[in-house]
A and B are shown apart, each in its own frame.
Chain A
Amino acid sequence: MSKKKVVLNFPPHLIDQPITYRLIAEQGLKVNILRARITPKEWGNMVVELNGDQARVEAGLRFLADLGVEVELLAEEVKWREERCIHCTACLAPCPTRALYVDRATMAVRFDEDKCIACELCLPVCPYQAMEIAAAK
């Protein structure tokens, strides 16, 4: 099984096409949409996580490229710098996916990278710069 986070940039003429559907139905991939911005007549973009065996993921990426979708690897991800974190829990309020959560028994902050959609809302609320943007692996 292969798991890949990519940014898909859709040229304006593809905005009305059911491309994600085809990626799922025809290419047999599990598509997890992390973020999406689609506006008529403009370039759209989606951050997705593609799940499937490696050959399928590669075929899916070729399928997108052939359609004219520009595919980039997710260049940035949000990192939790634990050594800077004081466990105040201020970051919990804006986190839409609960990637940042608290172990209520100890009140310690934890970060589940897999749940993070790199929305960056936690960055400005952390007073200690414990959340930062880093190049994706």
Chain B
Amino acid sequence: MTRTIEEINEKIKQGRAVVCTAEEIIQVVKEKGVKQAAATVDVVTTGTFAPMCSSGAYFNVGHTTPRMKLGGGKVTLNDVPAYAGFAAVDILVGATAVPDDDPRNKVFPGKFVYGGAHVIEELVAGKDVRLTATAYGTDCYPRKTLDTWIRLDDLNEAVLFNMRNSYQNYNVAVNLSDRVLYTYMGVLQPRMRNANYCTAGQLSPLLNDPHYRTLGVGTRIFLGGGEGFVVSHGTQHNPGVRRSELGLPQVPAGTLAVTGDLKKMSAKWLRGASFTGYGVTLTLGLGIPIPILDEETLAFAAVTDADITAPVVDYSEAYPNVKPEILAEVTVAQLKSGEITLNGKKVITAGLSSYVRAREVALILKSWIEAGNFLLTVPVAPLPAADSGYRFKLLKERPWEGLREAI
């Protein structure tokens, strides 16, 4: 059995496409087997809703009168510094940016109540955001200061850009030390009192197509409640890691870079997140439709939480010092049971990625496809796969020589 994306799109247009979520397909395969399931089902939808730090948004705010070149100047949005190293009125705010002097961040361990991700969430929610800017002024752009309210509707372009997300598998974080750790994996209690994980497991986009057979540059996706596109593989994409017999990476592997029109998104799917003692990030909803091209794509898309293993890593020592030590491997099914056993000790598990919302993303995407509103895309170019030799590197530090000469 084989089918093409064009054939699937014909069925979608006619309202005849059979769509299952990556959760529903598991039951279908159990009942019918891979062969019959592949013959019946045209598309499997995936989803995830999790903190994605490498998110940002860029805006064209429109020209002021007289004109002002924000480029090269300083810009803030609700006190959060934005990047203005572009042309006159293009600015970019990153999810993890925080105000320069937020008193709430100065008392240990720091609350990080507000940052770039919250600015993005508020704009998408239709709220007013305060833009301040100072610039040096030029003959063509004479104005030097600006302090104004802006809102999403009034901007020319407002685009979410995300240089890395949808991590294919992720660490389970524990803390072997004697003190509380405040990390991007949440608050880790001493002596391994909790294990925090972050994956949508059987609903996770890249775990349902582990060899990136059906997606690539240009793939249309669910992003932030609207429509987005895969730009390319994400930063730190690392497909060549060790994999299970099913082809599933056993440590963090592939990533995606994605983009989408913020004006069509919804604040429900773009949430500012405050990690105590760590910082701010954006929790983002993303879902990818997987066209069932043959029995193999169907078999991959039927992956279950019991098939997926994640590495347990100590965030007091191994992670900060880039040691490759893995304490154990546990399945996502075990993590989702609420408790895992590590070195004979029972450890409570807690998640960072919302399975409830991941399921909702997959269901929304399914409804869009069933309604004929969302067509699948043939990738313009593939993503580097496991056999591509593509891998990510650590920074090779070459300290600046000037200091030595000065001494």
Contact A90 B350 (CB under 8 A): yes
B129-137, B143-151, B159-167, B269-277: which one contacts chain A? B269-277
Whether B353 contacts A88 by the Cβ 8 Å rule is yes
**Complex interface residues of chain A between 72 and 113 (CB less than 8 A to chain B):** 86-94, 102, 104, 106-108
**Cross-chain contact A104 with B356 (CB below 8 angstroms):** no
Cβ of B196: which chain A residues have Cβ within 8 Å of it? 90, 93
Bound together, the chains give a CA A88 to CA B186 distance in angstroms of 11
Residues of A within 8 A of B275 (CB): 127
Flag B175-213 by CB within 8 Å of A: 1 or 0 each. Answer: 000000000001101000110100000000000000000
Could you tell me the distance between the alpha carbons of A93 and B273 in the complex, rounded to whole angstroms?
A: 18
Q: Is the CB of B194 within 8 A of A93?
A: yes
B354 within 8 A of A: yes
- Please give me the residue from chain A that is nearest to B353 by CB atom: A88
Cβ-neighbour of A88 out of B113, B193, B274, B354 (below 8 A): B354
Q: Are B273 and A87 in contact (CB under 8 A)?
A: no
Number of residues in B with C-beta < 8 Å to the partner? 32
Question: When the two chains form the complex, which single residue of A86, A92, A106 contacts B350, counting CB atoms closer than 8 Å?
Answer: A92
Is the CB of A2 closer than 8 A to any CB of chain B? no
**Contact of B194 with A94 in the complex, beta carbons under 8 Å:** yes
Select B189's contact among A86, A94, A104, A128, beta carbons within 8 Å.
A94
CB-based nearest A residue for B193: A93
Residues of B1-60 at the interface with A, using a CB-CB cut-off of 8 Å, are: 49-51
Shortest Cβ distance from B285 into chain A, in angstroms? 10
The chain A residue with its CB closest to the CB of B109 is: A124
Roughly how many angstroms separate A92 CA and B111 CA in the complex, as a whole number? 19
Query: Residue-by-residue, is B356-381 near A (CB-CB < 8 Å gives 1, otherwise 0)?
Result: 11000000000000000000000000
- Whether B350 contacts A91 by the Cβ 8 Å rule is yes
B350 cross-chain contacts in A, Cβ below 8 A: 89-93, 125
- With CB as the reference atom, state the residue of chain A lying closest to B188: A93
Q: A113-137: which residues lie under 8 A (CB-CB) from chain B? A: 124-125, 127-129
Nearest A-chain residue to B112, judged by Cβ: A127
Binary per-residue interface labels of chain B (273-301) against chain A in the complex, 1 for a CB within 8 Å, 0 otherwise: 11110000101000000000000000000
Known: A88-B352, A91-B350. A129 touches B186 (CB 8 A): no
Please give me the residue from chain A that is nearest to B268 by CB atom. A86
Asked whether A106 lies within 8 Å of B186 as measured between CB atoms, the reply is no
| Residues in B312-357 with C-beta less than 8 Å from chain A | 336-338, 348-357
Q: List 26 A-B contacts (CB under 8 A).
A: A86-B271, A86-B357, A87-B356, A88-B283, A88-B351, A89-B350, A90-B350, A90-B352, A91-B350, A92-B338, A92-B350, A93-B196, A93-B348, A102-B338, A104-B336, A107-B336, A107-B351, A107-B354, A107-B356, A124-B109, A124-B111, A125-B186, A127-B281, A128-B271, A128-B274, A129-B274
A88-B351, A129-B113 known, 6 other contacts, Cβ within 8 Å: A87-B357, A88-B283, A93-B189, A124-B187, A125-B350, A128-B271
